[in-house]
Amino acid sequence: MTTLEEGHVPVMVDEVLTMFAPRPGDLLLDATVGLGGHAAAYLEATAPDGQIVGLDADATALATARERLNEYGDRVTLINSNYARLKDAVTGGGIVEPGGSSLQQSSPAESPGLYTHCLFDLGIGSHQLASSDRGFSFKSTAPLTMRYGAQEGLPAAQLQPLNYLEQRLGHLPDAQDIVERLHKDELALVLRTYSDERFSNRIAGALKHRTPRTADALAEAVAEAVPRGYERGRIHPATRTFQALRLAVNRELETLSAGLPQAFELLAKDGVLIVISFHSLEDRIVKQYFRERSKRGVGEVLTKRPDTATVAEIAINPRSRSAKLRGIRKKE
């Protein structure tokens, strides 16, 4: 099996295309291009001349996207950047992947307000879960890094202990730094804030006591700290802890709050922004931002309630089970 075949199955592609209703010549800003699944579907739908500008914080994912989207030639521009710096990235500040067209004066990526569509498909891709060296998955024996990519210039964390830790370290803390260096109460606060973990105190206590250094050891320590029958066995007991650490390491909520207004600004009039999120903390940020745009009269919310995946899709792609899709149209 090739990497691409094993790779990420894009979520809610039909729903995305229906809401975008893209036409030839349209231009997508894909803020989380990942392995290029949504991007490829968009390029097909907008043939022969629709274009995409695809961003990803993860250079490894971008390299795969480049391979996958190679057949679309200069209809594709790929940029290695965090979407917290979306505007800078598309106006020339990001690193353009070789194989993507370069950002020259004539590039569609240059001018704000040109994009017909923008997509955020949030969180972690299966390519990252499968990568053996970053500690994203419960079974990984890798060190506890959990970084998507380079982290310069990310917004401050909403939790002060994480900002103080960053100052002390001189760099953004990775998962190991957070588990090891924060005080137990601060660690519990991270777990509660970024995953609503009910057993945050018990888990933080166990992690301080056991000081796991690999992802599998972390998962085991959490499983032993929580009561039997955690969440009635529906999820692995360490799911929330891993989510919280990943969100804290990558400042996921903070980068989302920073990225959405930039994306909205980059949209053309009547352009559509879609966000697919996978947990309530992200969805709340999207919902509130869309509501604020609508109240100001500059956006028309296209989803009163979030759209969800069909039963058929969930059956073949379990990751789509928790997907929530929201869309907004820019009015002016």
Ligand X SMILES: C[S@@+](CC[C@H](N)C(=O)[O-])C[C@H]1O[C@@H](n2cnc3c(N)ncnc32)[C@H](O)[C@@H]1O
Contact string 216-255 vs ligand X (x = CB under 6 A): ---------------------------------------x
Is residue 37 near ligand X by the rule CB under 6 A?
A: yes
Binding region for ligand X (CB under 6 A) out of 16-24, 29-37, 209-217, 285-293? 29-37
What would the two tokens of residue 14 be?
């039909």
Task: Scan residues 270-299 and list those touching ligand X (CB under 6 A).
Answer: none
Is residue 94 near ligand X by the rule CB under 6 A?
A: no
Binding region for ligand X (CB under 6 A) out of 27-35, 174-182, 190-198, 231-239? 27-35
Is residue 72 near ligand X by the rule CB under 6 A?
A: no
Question: What is the C-alpha to C-alpha distance for residues 71 and 58, in angstroms, rounded to an integer?
Answer: 21
Question: What is the C-alpha to C-alpha distance for residues 101 and 254, in angstroms, rounded to an integer?
Answer: 30
One residue of 12, 19, 34, 151 binding ligand X per CB under 6 A: 34
> What minimum distance in Å lies between the beta carbon of 125 and ligand X?
3
Is residue 146 near ligand X by the rule CB under 6 A?
A: no
Is residue 157 near ligand X by the rule CB under 6 A?
A: no
Q: Which amino acid is at 326?
A: R
Binding region for ligand X (CB under 6 A) out of 14-22, 36-44, 137-145, 163-171? 36-44
Quickly tell me which residue has 């069909």 as its tokens: 310
What would the two tokens of residue 10 be?
């894009």
Helix (H/G/I), strand (E/B), else coil: 267: strand
Q: For residue 330, what is the enclosing H or E element? A: strand 324-330
Nearer to ligand X, 173 or 237 (CB): 173
Strands 27-30 and 51-56: parallel
Is residue 267 near ligand X by the rule CB under 6 A?
A: no
Quickly tell me which residue has 């521009």 as its tokens: 77
Question: What is the C-alpha to C-alpha distance for residues 300 and 149, in angstroms, rounded to an integer?
Answer: 34
Is residue 121 near ligand X by the rule CB under 6 A?
A: yes
Quickly tell me which residue has 């990775």 as its tokens: 174
What would the two tokens of residue 1 be?
């099996």
Helix (H/G/I), strand (E/B), else coil: 118: strand
Backbone φ and ψ for 310, nearest 5 degrees, come out as -75, 160
Binding region for ligand X (CB under 6 A) out of 19-27, 31-39, 97-105, 305-313? 31-39
Question: What is the C-alpha to C-alpha distance for residues 54 and 61, in angstroms, rounded to an integer?
Answer: 11
Is residue 125 near ligand X by the rule CB under 6 A?
A: yes
Binding site for ligand X (CB under 6 A): 8, 10, 32, 34-38, 55-58, 61, 82-84, 121, 123, 125, 148, 255
